[in-house]
């Protein structure tokens, strides 16, 4: 089983749509969780951290279910600029080694 597994997509949605991405992780000792965004041939950039209580940042909502080892990201009112690859990332603690999923490709079209 992969350490971090994501549906690779691609997701093609119109502007204004709501889209949800899912991710599962295999190591129950994982301590912190993130969604990163990566544009083509660019570095990963932190989109948001994910907490068990769920958290929201504008149009983005992230959820963590530790019992199911499941992480989600919801994007509301999609913009063209949201087109990117969304990376589910897990940190097992210690020295901060991040384990990345393969990414989910999102394309928002007019």
Partner 1 sequence: EPEVTQTPSHQVTQMGQEVILRCVPISNHLYFYWYRQILGQKVEFLVSFYNNEISEKSEIFDDQFSVERPDGSNFTLKIRSTKLEDSAMYFCASTWTPGGNTIYFGEGSWLTVV
In the complex, the residues that contact partner 1 under the rule CB under 8 A are: 31-32, 38, 41-46, 49, 87, 91, 93-103
CA distance 59 to 39: 19
Q: Which is nearer to partner 1, 45 or 77 (CB)?
A: 45
Least separation in angstroms between residue 15's CB and partner 1 is 27
Q: Which is nearer to partner 1, 11 or 36 (CB)?
A: 36
CA distances in angstroms from 75 to 18, 27, 72, 85, listed in the order given: 6, 26, 10, 13
Using the Cα atoms of residue 29, residue 90, residue 103 and residue 22 in order, give the sign of their dihedral: positive
Q: Which is nearer to partner 1, 75 or 88 (CB)?
A: 88
């Amino acid at each position: 089983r992969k350490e971090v597994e994501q549906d690779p997509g691609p997701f093609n949605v119109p502007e204004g749509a709501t889209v949800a991405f899912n991710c599962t992780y295999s190591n129950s000792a994982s301590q912190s969780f993130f969604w990163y965004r990566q544009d083509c041939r660019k570095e990963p950039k932190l989109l948001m951290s994910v907490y068990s209580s769920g958290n929201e940042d504008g149009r983005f909502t992230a959820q963590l279910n530790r019992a199911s080892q499941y992480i989600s990201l919801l994007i509301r009112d999609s913009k063209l600029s949201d087109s990117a690859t969304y990376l589910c990332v897990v940190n097992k603690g210690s020295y901060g080694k991040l384990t990345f999923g393969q990414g989910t490709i999102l394309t928002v079209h007019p």
